[in-house]
């Protein structure tokens, strides 16, 4: 299996640190609002990477954080007159709903920055003791020039950053020894959340969070660190500087970065009015369509989002779902159980599509070509399966489609529609739960119905429902 390593700028054979195991860290979102479709791309891409490693038999320890303390979270909390903790807790829950809709597997661990402050303080202290960091009036800075390999991931030269590209400087406070030094710890401001440290009350800088959380849950060395290409500099560059200086060893073997997402060939931004949240997309499309769309291009390529392309993805996904549905129908009406000799030959040929799928995924997770292999398998199923086919043949072809689409995170079993009577029974159970003040069960039923496309509305006249 070959992976494109951002560090070396070339494809490299994947060799894990430990046989049969993959330690993988993916930078997660800052939770101050609903996630947008730009956030969704790395979530979908690297969930698919994880699924393929598991398909190949690896045990994957997959860690993805939530940044739950940040200037944007604090700003939102002040606007709403609530605590930063309330904002982050709310949007972590909403993010998990969207991730569930996109069929993203739960991480082995989703660490929260606010729960790992102690480890961050320890790492900063270690960097100070080793001479890589210094404190000035309650702020701790990292000595960028002290780390001789700084710039090795982004391939940026420190002197070029200093002289010719002021916009790339991390920030320019006068207290720094060098304008390129970046913040590890910042002192408390009035009205902001803060934690105790040897340098006074304050909170960590953004970069140190991931260095500490990946170390705690994956170890000092990891196989894969992934995220959007916008994180290469300065975030991932600074993570390397911190982790390698603190731990004295190579931080990550392989760096994977997905390309940017544009909207109608323009950069997504609120000012252009082309900013979409995953929740907004879910009102128009099943989020499986969004997932299928995201995987229709190679993850390192820029991807253009448009209504036409989403419609094309919807049609493509429907072809696969319809073929699987047809096989299920034929299975329910199969006249014979076991394959004939002729069917065995036909079924053996279907392995070619599996081989094509694996060849594509082994080549730096080329999901576009992998999807093409699934389409070829679907076409083969449509032309070889019929009312005369045996149950064994139909089940074999169906299982192959499920096996490959599962790697892509695509669910081919169509959701069974609830009957009106079933809905009414669940609504009654919810009403009973509320009377008994079992609000957890009441919320559970509402979410269960919503997942099946049933929207409840509590009115004075009682509970009304409609199909989404």
- Per-residue model confidence as pLDDT tens digits over 411-464: 997 655 677 788 888 998 998 988 898 988 888 888 888 877 788 888 877 888
| 466 pLDDT above the threshold of 90 | no
Closest CA to 293 of 102, 49, 53: 102
The per-residue pLDDT for 424 is 86
Give me 36's structure tokens: 């947008």
Is the same domain home to 332 and 440? Answer: no
The per-residue pLDDT for 268 is 78
In a domain, 414, yes or no: no
Is the same domain home to 328 and 457? Answer: no
Rounded average pLDDT over 138-154: 97
Binned at pLDDT 50, 70 and 90, residue 166 comes out as very low
> How are the residues of the chain apportioned to helix, strand and coil, as percentages rounded to the nearest 5?
50, 15, 35
Binned at pLDDT 50, 70 and 90, residue 290 comes out as very high
The per-residue pLDDT for 453 is 75
Is the same domain home to 321 and 387? Answer: yes
Of the listed ranges 53-67, 386-400, 433-447, the one predicted with least confidence: 433-447
Rounded average pLDDT over 376-392: 97
- What is the model's pTM? 0.87
| CATH number for position 354 | 1.10.730.10
Of the listed ranges 228-232, 380-384, 448-452, the one predicted with least confidence: 448-452
Of the listed ranges 60-64, 84-88, 424-428, 457-461, the one predicted with least confidence: 457-461
In a domain, 272, yes or no: no
Q: Is the pLDDT higher at 433 or at 92?
A: 92
Is the same domain home to 236 and 316? Answer: no
* Residue-number span of the structural domain to which 225 is assigned: 2-258
In a domain, 265, yes or no: no
Is the same domain home to 403 and 424? Answer: no
Is the same domain home to 334 and 369? Answer: yes
Of the listed ranges 173-182, 225-234, 281-290, 333-342, the one predicted with least confidence: 173-182
What is the 3-state secondary structure of 389-455?
A: CCHHHHHHHHHHHHHHHHHCCCCCCCCCCCCHHHHHHHHHHHHHHHHCCCHHHHHHHHHHHHHCCEE
Of the listed ranges 112-116, 134-138, 461-465, the one predicted with least confidence: 461-465
In a domain, 166, yes or no: yes
What element of type H or E holds 279? helix 278-282
The per-residue pLDDT for 155 is 95
pLDDT digits over 342-361, tens only? 999 999 999 999 999 999 99
| 112 pLDDT above the threshold of 90 | yes
In a domain, 267, yes or no: no
Bond preceding residue 234 cis, omega within 30 of 0: yes
In a domain, 269, yes or no: no
| CATH number for position 117 | 3.40.50.620
Rounded average pLDDT over 22-30: 97
The per-residue pLDDT for 465 is 86
Of the listed ranges 33-37, 154-158, 312-316, 463-467, the one predicted with least confidence: 463-467
| 170 pLDDT above the threshold of 60 | no
C-beta separation of 240 from 210 below 8 A: no
Q: Which residues of 221-249 are buried (b: 16+ CB within 10 A; e: fewer)?
A: bbbbbbbbbebbbbbbbbbbbbbbbbbee
The per-residue pLDDT for 417 is 65
Is the same domain home to 99 and 177? Answer: yes
The per-residue pLDDT for 33 is 95
Round the average pLDDT of the chain to a whole number and report it: 93
> Rg of the chain over CA atoms, in angstroms?
25
Is the same domain home to 362 and 440? Answer: no
Closest CA to 307 of 259, 260, 264: 264
The per-residue pLDDT for 174 is 62
Alpha helices in 303-350 (DSSP H): 307-332, 341-349
Three-state DSSP class for residue 3: strand
Is the same domain home to 303 and 345? Answer: yes
Measured CA angle at 290 (ends 288, 293), to 5 deg: 110
Is the same domain home to 39 and 134? Answer: yes
Q: Sort 265 into a burial class: Cβ within 10 Å, 0-12 / 13-18 / 19+.
A: exposed
Query: For the residues of 190-217, what is the DSSP string, one character each?
Result: TTS--B--TT-SEEE-HHHHHHHHHHHH
Closest CA to 363 of 13, 118, 7, 18: 13
Is the same domain home to 66 and 131? Answer: yes
In sign, the C-alpha dihedral spanning 277, 93, 313, 369 is: positive
Per-residue DSSP letter, 105:
P
Is the same domain home to 176 and 215? Answer: yes
| 168 pLDDT above the threshold of 60 | no
In a domain, 266, yes or no: no
Of the listed ranges 82-91, 162-171, 214-223, 402-411, the one predicted with least confidence: 162-171
The per-residue pLDDT for 416 is 58
Closest CA to 358 of 16, 53, 46, 14: 53
Measured CA angle at 439 (ends 433, 442), to 5 deg: 55
Q: Give me the number of domains the chain comprises.
A: 3
In a domain, 270, yes or no: no
Closest CA to 255 of 233, 288, 286: 233
Half-sphere exposure of 110 (CA within 13 A, CB side): 18
């Amino acid at each position: 299996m070959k992976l494109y390593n951002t560090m070396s700028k070339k494809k490299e054979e994947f060799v894990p640190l430990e046989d049969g195991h993959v330690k993988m860290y993916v930078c997660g979102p800052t939770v101050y609002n609903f996630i947008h479709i730009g956030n969704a791309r790395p979530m979908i891409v690297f969930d698919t990477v994880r699924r393929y490693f598991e398909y190949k038999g690896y045990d994957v320890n997959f860690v993805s954080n939530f940044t739950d303390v940040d200037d944007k979270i604090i700003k939102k909390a002040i606007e709403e007159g609530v605590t930063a903790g309330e904002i982050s807790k709310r949007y972590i829950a909403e993010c998990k709903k969207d991730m569930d809709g996109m069929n993203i597997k739960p991480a082995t661990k989703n660490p929260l920055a606010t729960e790992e402050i102690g480890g961050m303080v320890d790492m900063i202290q270690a960097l100070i003791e080793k001479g890589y960091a210094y404190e000035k009036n309650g702020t701790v800075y990292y000595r960028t020039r002290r780390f001789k390999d700084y710039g090795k991931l982004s391939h940026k030269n420190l002197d070029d950053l200093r002289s010719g590209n002021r916009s790339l400087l991390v920030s320019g406070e006068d207290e720094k020894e060098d304008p390129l030094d970046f913040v590890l710890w910042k002192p408390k401001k009035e009205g902001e959340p803060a934690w105790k440290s040897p340098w006074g009350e304050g909170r960590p800088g953004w970069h140190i969070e991931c260095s500490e959380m990946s170390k705690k849950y994956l170890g000092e060395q990891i196989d894969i660190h992934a995220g959007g290409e916008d994180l290469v500099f300065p975030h991932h560059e600074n993570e390397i500087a911190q982790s390698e200086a603190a731990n004295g060893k190579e931080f990550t073997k392989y760096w994977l970065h997905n390309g940017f997402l544009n909207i109608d060939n323009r950069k997504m931004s609120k000012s252009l009015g082309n900013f979409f949240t995953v929740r907004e997309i879910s009102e128009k499309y099943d989020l499986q369509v969004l997932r299928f769309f995201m995987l229709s291009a190679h993850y390192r390529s820029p991807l253009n989002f448009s209504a036409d392309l989403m419609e094309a993805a919807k049609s493509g996904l429907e072809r696969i779902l319809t073929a699987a549905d047809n096989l299920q129908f034929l299975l329910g009406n199969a006249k014979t159980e076991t394959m004939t000799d002729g069917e065995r030959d036909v079924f053996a040929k279907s392995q070619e599509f599996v081989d094509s799928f694996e060849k594509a995924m082994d080549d730096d997770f080329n999901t576009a070509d992998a999807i093409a292999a699934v389409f070829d398998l679907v076409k083969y199923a449509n032309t070889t399966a019929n009312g005369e086919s045996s149950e064994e043949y139909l089940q074999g072809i169906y299982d192959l489609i499920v096996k490959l689409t599962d790697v892509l995170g695509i669910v081919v079993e169509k959701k069974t529609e609830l009957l009106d009577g079933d809905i009414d029974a669940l609504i009654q159970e919810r009403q009973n739960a509320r009377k008994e003040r079992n609000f957890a069960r009441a919320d559970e039923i509402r979410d269960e119905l919503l997942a099946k496309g049933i929207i409840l509305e509590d009115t004075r006249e009682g509970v009304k429902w409609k199909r989404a």
